[in-house]
Structure 1
Amino acid sequence: MPYPPDVERWRELVSAYFAPEDVNKALWVILHESGGNSNAIGDSGSSLGLFQLNINGLGAGLSEQTRFTPSENIRQAAIHVATTNNWTPWGEGALFRGEPFGSLGNKPYPGDKKNEFAEDTVAIPGQPAPPVINLEDIDEEGFELFSPSGENFEGQFDGYTSNLEFAEKRILNLVLEHNLSFDPNQGYGKTTTDELGDPVFTLHEEANMWSEVFFRSEQGLERISALRDSGLTTAGRKSAEAFLDTSILENAAGQKNFDDFRSRIDALAAVENIPIQRATDIASM
């Protein structure tokens, strides 16, 4: 029997992280912990999100944003279950057909409580934080992204592909329209000269926003693909997570590898019948 709609809408994401035999168990926990409300806040204020990650328990050391973000909240819960083979943070004890014997630990307090944390990006130690993007505003462009609040979540796995293609074409159009160049340390912009004749590089805000969208979508597709390709075994999930976490760290905050992106632009330019020389110029930025 399916769970209520507020819980069922998380099934696809839960399936990406939990082993198949644990998906219904995980949804059962979500039902009782948060009612499917990704913004649920525990009565003490320290338990947050779908699995009610507690700052003094399973969520120790995690930022408030991480505990609220649906994908990270689910991922942390899945990692715990995969590595410990128990559900004790939620007072589950023994399980039978996905239902617990005994009472649950944390109780849901979804009510009307909503988190009001800023949609900033958690900085990686030793590296600058990526620019802040209000993902809610991007919906009007015709596609969806993950949002920290988890709203408008359904269908976003398919959205990753359209996000990637849309961002790619939008960047190309902006580069052509404004004759932008690319600085590996700063991003997309245009070089002019000041009153003294010295070069001044001015960032193009929209082009850099779409660049961030591109990489968020690309990393999302990579993560989902690797997790599913692993067969969702415990060892496979752990290996995929370790590889992807390392990859994301290496590519974060201006240190991303743009080679693949340049080749994508080059190929797209050819499809769009842009002159070869211009396509070459774009690909070499």
Structure 2
Amino acid sequence: MIPLAYGTYGLRDLSPWDAIDAIAAAGYDGVELTLAEGYRNAAPRLSSDESSKIRERLDATGVDLVGVLAKLHVLGAEGALATAARDDLLEIIGSGLSLSPRNPLIVTFTMGGRSAEWPAGRAELADALGALGATAASEGVLLAVEAHVGGLIDRPERVHWLIDQVGLESVRINFDISHFTLPGLQYDTNELIEELAPLAVHAHVKDSVPTAAGFQFVLPGDGLFDYPQYFAGMMAAGWNRPVTVEVSAMVFGQPDYEPVRAIESSYRALSRARSIAQQNFISKNGATR
């Protein structure tokens, strides 16, 4: 069965250990920790005390660390900025490795830029990611870069170009299908999975609804996305890594946002959809994968 995880991107006011407790209580199998300035007890460089407390909660709850989410300035990474991006990545890698993940550490981040800057900006991005990927490879770490609506990498063919151009096993993708299934986009869920899941080492999910301005990201289950179809497609693709909830800033920036309710409601929606897909998969194939 595909594990479910929850990211702390939308939990910046909770300490990582309190977040882990809430995530475990809801039933999740894993957690993705955001390591960034502005997050309580979770700056890129964790103190030894912070690392110890996080390890303690991971061990006590049995929740897996499925990865860490970073905020790296990738585009425009020339000269001093390139050094800063590499230094930030090394700090995040050091913090992540201090938590003793059971599997190779996965560092997830978006790449920035604007869609209209393609193709002019693609060589710069490939060069910057190549340098960061070499750093990651030297540390035994995987980078999971995320395509993003409106960003320079915002469609499947650009994802493929980037991964081929960088050409490093340490640079893979975070498959966040929500950026391809917004209102008005015409991508097919199963085709997206077939095309992008083989390139992925991590997966985010959230939901969306149409608005007068175009769209609004919402929590899983609060929008229009067909999650049973998604899980069925991921199972058919042989996906056995976690699927991680990422709460958008469009959600956690709202005045009525309740972080613990978001954790719980997302789990109910995804767990129910996963069960439907699992039952259908077993009926169709006669065995679990």
Q: Does TM, scored on the shorter chain, surpass 0.5?
A: no
- Greater strand share, structure number: 2
Structure having greater relative contact order (Cα 8 Å, sep ≥ 6)? 2
Structure ID, larger Rg? 1
